[in-house]
Amino acid sequence: MASPQLTIDVLTLFPGMFAGYFDESIMKRAREKGILALTIHNLRDWATDRHHAVDDTPYGGGAGMVMMVNVLHAAVQSLRREGSRVVLLSPQGRVFNQGIATELSRTEHLIFISGHYEGFDERVRHLCVDDELSVGDYVISNGSLAAMLVIDAAVRLFPGVVGDERSVQEDSFAEGILDYPHYTRPRVFQGIAVPDVLLSGDHEEVRRWRRREALRRTRDRRPDLLPSASLTPEDRAFLREFDEEQKRGKESDQ
Question: Helix 25-32 crosses helix 143-155 at what angle (to 10 degrees)?
Answer: 60
**Do residues 143 and 202 share a domain?**
no
**Do residues 145 and 208 share a domain?**
no
**Do residues 13 and 135 share a domain?**
yes
* Residue-level pLDDT at 119: 87
**Do residues 104 and 216 share a domain?**
no
Kindly state the percentage of the chain with pLDDT values over 90: 77
Residue 170 annotated among the catalytic residues of the structure: no
Residue 223 annotated among the catalytic residues of the structure: no
Residue 108 annotated among the catalytic residues of the structure: no
Catalytic residue among 15, 58, 91, 181: 91
What distances in angstroms separate CA 161 from CA 7, 33, 72, 85, 132, one per listed residue?
13, 9, 31, 21, 25
**Do residues 212 and 127 share a domain?**
no
CATH number at residue 211: 1.10.1270.20
* Residue-level pLDDT at 172: 57
As a residue count, the chain comes to: 254
Domain assignment of residue 164, yes or no: no
Asked whether 43 and 72 are in contact (CB, 8 A), the reply is yes
**Do residues 195 and 101 share a domain?**
no
pLDDT band for position 250 (50/70/90)? confident
**Do residues 21 and 116 share a domain?**
yes
Catalytic residue among 45, 130, 171, 213: 171
| Burial group, residue 29, by CB count within 10 angstroms (0-12, 13-18, 19+) | middle
Catalytic residue among 58, 85, 118, 208: 118
Residue 241 annotated among the catalytic residues of the structure: no
Domain assignment of residue 170, yes or no: no
Note the pTM of the prediction, 2 decimals: 0.84
The string of pLDDT tens digits covering residues 50-87 is: 999 999 999 999 888 999 999 999 999 999 999 999 99
* Residue-level pLDDT at 253: 77
The string of pLDDT tens digits covering residues 170-195 is: 565 667 899 999 999 999 999 999 99
* Residue-level pLDDT at 166: 60
Please report, in angstroms and rounded to a whole number, the separation of the first and last CA atoms in the chain: 67
- Of 169, 146, 151, nearest to 31 by C-alpha is 151
**Do residues 145 and 204 share a domain?**
no
Catalytic residue among 9, 55, 121, 156: 156
* Count of domains for the chain: 2
Residue 24 domain boundaries = 6-155
Given a cut of 50, is residue 45 above it in pLDDT? yes
CATH number at residue 126: 3.40.1280.10
